[in-house]
Structure 1
Amino acid sequence: MTIDFQALADKYGTPLYVYDFERITENYRQLKDAFAGQKSLIAYAVKANSNLSVIAHLGKLGAGADCVSGGELLRARRAGIEPYRIIFSGVGKRDEEIELALREEILLLNLESEAEMKRVEDVARRLGKEARISIRVNPNVDPKTHPYISTGLHENKFGVEIDIAKRMYIYAKNSDWLDPVGIHFHIGSQLTDMEPIREAAGIVADLVRSLAAIGVEIRFFDVGGGLGVVYRDEEPIEVEAYARAITEAIRGLDLTILCEPGRYLVANAGWLLTRVLYEKRNGEKRFVIVDAAMNDLLRPSLYDAYHRVEMLTESEGRGEATPADVVGPVCESGDWLAKDLELPPTEPGDLLLIHSAGAYGFTMASNYNTRGRAAEIACEGGSCRPIRDRENFEDQIRLELGHLEEE
């Protein structure tokens, strides 16, 4: 749909996150249709954008939820996701989070170590509830992505090697409190090369076959997420080719595919609106200072990530565009949103639109420098509505007030 960003900024203020729910729907259906003819569950990776309305919207389309904390699990349930569509992943789960998952009777817990498996077994025994589990296998495949979002190599903290995985499956099969129903791998995020995915799927599918030979029957083949999107000039993987590589790897096996997309569903369906405060120069260096900052969008500072920045305010007649760094008010040299961006001369109040901000934008936001987090807006069916109010000062200090000692 066509979104009037200027009207939204005027009505709700800036910084402001805006999401196109129709595009999210289109992305979901494209991926789900790619697996047509194969049993599958698309479990949305909640960490990408954990707004309740975003989760609920995907749930109504048939999506499940991939959660990496007890809080995300509770968000998924509050948003209406049924327990049998929820997966609980993550390398470190507290006992109370494991207990929550078992009490909610979710589909399965993805386990990442023998130590974690023993903790899950202990909690399950204490509750008298059998735990459905999957084990995250590290296939030692280079995903060819940013090192911070690479997860499938031995040097990463995620998953277990194949020999350890076999030992864990045998242990779980013989346990009264563990039910090994799935196998999981996830080699990284923002993947744009098909070959590492194909290689990893083949390695893990072969492990499924060897487990069947020793009596461990796997029912769920969890391929993780990580499908890349366009930020600048990337060539994303075609979802049909992606699905075909997965289904070919498990040919002859009776498995339900679990897929955990996050970025793919929401990144390019979201934008961050910000206004120019003023300009300054340090020698030859030009800075355009805006009201959004690294606490609103951390990816540029954290990953040196690129987001396209578009000037929405008409600037004809102002002069020639020159390179500028777009920076925020936060007291850090790392507080920047774009570097060496060609911009015409700007004036206070000019509106800039930061693209591809629907994933790992608001969900990574903070109150650093006691800055309130932005409002969030959903657009669908020709209209837009708030789905999170702007955070004010009182919201930020609420949990501290009761502990403030009066002098």
Structure 2
Amino acid sequence: MADASPTCPGQDPSVADLLAVRPALSMHAMDGLVLEDVPLNAIADALGTPTWVMSAGTLRARYRRLATALAATDRPVSIHFAVKANDHLAVLRVLAAEGAGADVVSGGELRRAMMAGIPAEKIVFSGVGKSLEEMRLALQAGIAQINVESAEELELLSAVAEAEGQEARIALRINPDVDAGTHAKITTGLATNKFGIPYDRAVELYARAATLPGIRPVGLAMHIGSQIVRMQPYRTAYARLADLVRAIRARGLTVEALDCGGGLGISYRDETEGAPEALAAAIHAELGDLGTRLAVEPGRWLAGPAGVLLSTVILRKQGYDGMPPFLVLDAAMNDLMRPSLYDAWHGIIPLSAKTAAAATEQVHVVGPVCESGDTFGHDRTLPHMEAGSRLALLDCGAYGMVMSSTYNARPLAAQVMVDGARWSVIRERQQVEALWADDRVPDWVEKTLLPAGGGL
């Protein structure tokens, strides 16, 4: 799930604080803010703003750290990138080249993952509401595993698999009723959440799965939420998962695989980032002696710190006397939804070194969309910026562009990938005419129009 870092009271991190823990970013006296070896002003000069920028080097570095941590345990753990975090083909190809599999939640994501070069045998299909068409697609593709989230879905999948003459390798996704301690909109492991099979029904349903035509139960899956930075919720959930494995085996049934989910958190503001080494230790401690294959589904931890959103201040708007001014950006909630949806906090750094060193002030940072929720932060302490100042919103590589819309008839922003000193456009800025290219006006409506009197 997408996550949130709620707005925090207290002193905001300084530009120096933000840069100190983001090794791919640096501030140069002449070039300004640089991602890897690419000045971000050069991208803004060429393409304008708003523009998304992804760092291929950061994706690789974080994947390798995670893979190293998981491989260091006695029982290695396979990595399936959560495609919902960032589904761009370039991002998926970079991770596929590192050996990543994919965790998908729709037929479209399944097709994207395969188009990016991720083999079907490395793809897991999750999600609480798979359509019959999506089930057929997964079976025909021969993916590694379908994570079944309800008794009702299990019966449907059995019927589809039997009709297709296929065998569905399935894991039951269990809801352990464990509080991950995250934002209410991104927790997935509580009894009140829509996800997964109630814990106390899991053993019987697993036994039922073993009797169904077209179904081969291979294991269990669990995912308790997103932006998790403490290991105790994982330990508690994994211990419950281990108890289920033992109970199922006591019935004479086989459990070959355990999908440990994802949710490892990052530092948006000043949180302690979730450590892959600690996660690997938690998995090994609770599940390592069960003799199963193990897998994880990271999304945000891999992709979040790899992306920034470039924007420009349209104007400074003075409010009531004694209140902070508004910095109105050309980026908006239709571009980056997280602050509006989750009250999420994203670091903001000017692209100019001179501006970054200016005296700080308190400001409200907002977008131009006609919604009060179109805001990137209230009472933010930032270097003084005027109209025309460019800035980067940090840690936008996960649940950023993938959640964008064209609300207020705003075209989708351009996307760029940097790799060392080189950069390339990976998606052109959408042309405004594309917004209505697929619209169709019925003849009976067309006839009610007055004769054309012009246009823009």
For normalisation by structure 2, the TM-score amounts to 0.86
Over the aligned positions, Cα root-mean-square deviation in angstroms equals: 1.7
| Aligned partners of 2:145 and 2:168 also within 8 Å | yes
Per-residue deviation, 1:344? 4.5
**Are residues 403 and 376 of structure 1, via their aligned partners in 2, closer, same or farther at CA, if it must alter by over 3 Å?**
farther
The answer to whether the aligner puts 1:186 opposite 2:232 as a matched pair is no
The answer to whether the aligner puts 1:109 opposite 2:146 as a matched pair is yes
Give the secondary structure class of the aligned counterpart of 2:197.
Answer: coil
**Are residues 75 and 402 of structure 1, via their aligned partners in 2, closer, same or farther at CA, if it must alter by over 3 Å?**
farther
Q: Which residue of 2 aligns with 1:65?
A: 102
CA distance in 1, matches of 2:392, 2:429: 18
| Aligned partners of 1:35 and 1:243 also within 8 Å | yes
> Which of 3, 14, 31 is residue 66 of structure 2 equivalent to?
31
CA distance in 1, matches of 2:64, 2:343: 31
CA distance in 2, matches of 1:168, 1:208: 13
> Which of 166, 174, 183 is residue 146 of structure 1 equivalent to?
183
| Aligned partners of 2:355 and 2:385 also within 8 Å | no
The answer to whether the aligner puts 1:331 opposite 2:370 as a matched pair is yes
> Which amino acid in the other structure matches residue 247 of structure 1?
H
Give the secondary structure class of the aligned counterpart of 1:400.
Answer: coil
| Aligned partners of 1:278 and 1:346 also within 8 Å | no
Q: Which residue of 2 aligns with 1:290?
A: 329
Q: Which residue of 2 aligns with 1:201?
A: 238
Per-residue deviation, 1:204? 0.2
Structure 1 segment 218-367 matched on structure 2, within 5 A: 218-284=255-321, 285=323, 286-313=325-352, 320-367=359-406
CA distance in 2, matches of 1:373, 1:256: 41
| Aligned partners of 2:171 and 2:220 also within 8 Å | yes
**Are residues 217 and 312 of structure 1, via their aligned partners in 2, closer, same or farther at CA, if it must alter by over 3 Å?**
same
Task: String of CA shifts for 1:244-295, please: whole Å, max 9, x gaps.
Answer: 1101212332211110000000101110000011111121331011100000
Give the secondary structure class of the aligned counterpart of 2:334.
Answer: coil
The answer to whether the aligner puts 1:373 opposite 2:412 as a matched pair is yes
**Are residues 125 and 245 of structure 1, via their aligned partners in 2, closer, same or farther at CA, if it must alter by over 3 Å?**
same
> Which amino acid in the other structure matches residue 93 of structure 1?
K
* 319-328 vs 92-101, which moves further: 319-328
* 14-23 vs 321-330, which moves further: 321-330
**Are residues 185 and 318 of structure 1, via their aligned partners in 2, closer, same or farther at CA, if it must alter by over 3 Å?**
closer
**Are residues 276 and 260 of structure 1, via their aligned partners in 2, closer, same or farther at CA, if it must alter by over 3 Å?**
same
CA distance in 2, matches of 1:119, 1:337: 43
> Which amino acid in the other structure matches residue 249 of structure 1?
E
Give the secondary structure class of the aligned counterpart of 1:141.
Answer: coil
Per-residue deviation, 1:297? 0.4
Q: Which residue of 1 aligns with 2:32?
A: none
CA distance in 2, matches of 1:382, 1:316: 24
CA distance in 2, matches of 1:374, 1:215: 55
**Are residues 403 and 88 of structure 1, via their aligned partners in 2, closer, same or farther at CA, if it must alter by over 3 Å?**
farther
The answer to whether the aligner puts 1:214 opposite 2:251 as a matched pair is yes
Where does structure 2 lack aligned partners over 5 or more consecutive residues? 1-35, 448-456
The answer to whether the aligner puts 1:397 opposite 2:436 as a matched pair is yes
> Which of 41, 55, 60 is residue 20 of structure 1 equivalent to?
55
Per-residue deviation, 1:212? 1.5
CA distance in 1, matches of 2:358, 2:281: 52
> Which amino acid in the other structure matches residue 241 of structure 1?
A
Task: String of CA shifts for 1:97-153, please: whole Å, max 9, x gaps.
Answer: 111111111011111110111111111111111111111111111101111111111
Task: String of CA shifts for 1:154-208, please: whole Å, max 9, x gaps.
Answer: 0111111222111211111112210001210011100011101011111101211
CA distance in 2, matches of 1:242, 1:2: 31
Per-residue deviation, 1:341? 1.7
| Aligned partners of 1:309 and 1:338 also within 8 Å | no
> Which of 10, 15, 18 is residue 45 of structure 2 equivalent to?
10
Where does structure 1 lack aligned partners over 5 or more consecutive residues? none
> Which amino acid in the other structure matches residue 171 of structure 1?
R
**Are residues 319 and 257 of structure 1, via their aligned partners in 2, closer, same or farther at CA, if it must alter by over 3 Å?**
closer
> Which amino acid in the other structure matches residue 348 of structure 1?
A
Give the secondary structure class of the aligned counterpart of 1:282.
Answer: coil
> Which amino acid in the other structure matches residue 373 of structure 1?
L
Per-residue deviation, 1:391? 1.0
**Are residues 343 and 193 of structure 1, via their aligned partners in 2, closer, same or farther at CA, if it must alter by over 3 Å?**
closer
**Are residues 345 and 239 of structure 1, via their aligned partners in 2, closer, same or farther at CA, if it must alter by over 3 Å?**
closer
Task: String of CA shifts for 1:342-372, please: whole Å, max 9, x gaps.
Answer: 2444333210110111110101100100111
CA distance in 2, matches of 1:164, 1:194: 26
Give the secondary structure class of the aligned counterpart of 1:126.
Answer: helix
Give the secondary structure class of the aligned counterpart of 2:238.
Answer: helix
The answer to whether the aligner puts 1:127 opposite 2:164 as a matched pair is yes
**Are residues 319 and 189 of structure 1, via their aligned partners in 2, closer, same or farther at CA, if it must alter by over 3 Å?**
closer
> Which of 91, 113, 132 is residue 54 of structure 1 equivalent to?
91
Task: String of CA shifts for 1:68-125, please: whole Å, max 9, x gaps.
Answer: 1111111101111100000110011111111111111101111111011111111111
> Which amino acid in the other structure matches residue 365 of structure 1?
S
CA distance in 2, matches of 1:242, 1:265: 14
CA distance in 2, matches of 1:319, 1:263: 32
**Are residues 128 and 309 of structure 1, via their aligned partners in 2, closer, same or farther at CA, if it must alter by over 3 Å?**
same
Per-residue deviation, 1:316? 5.9
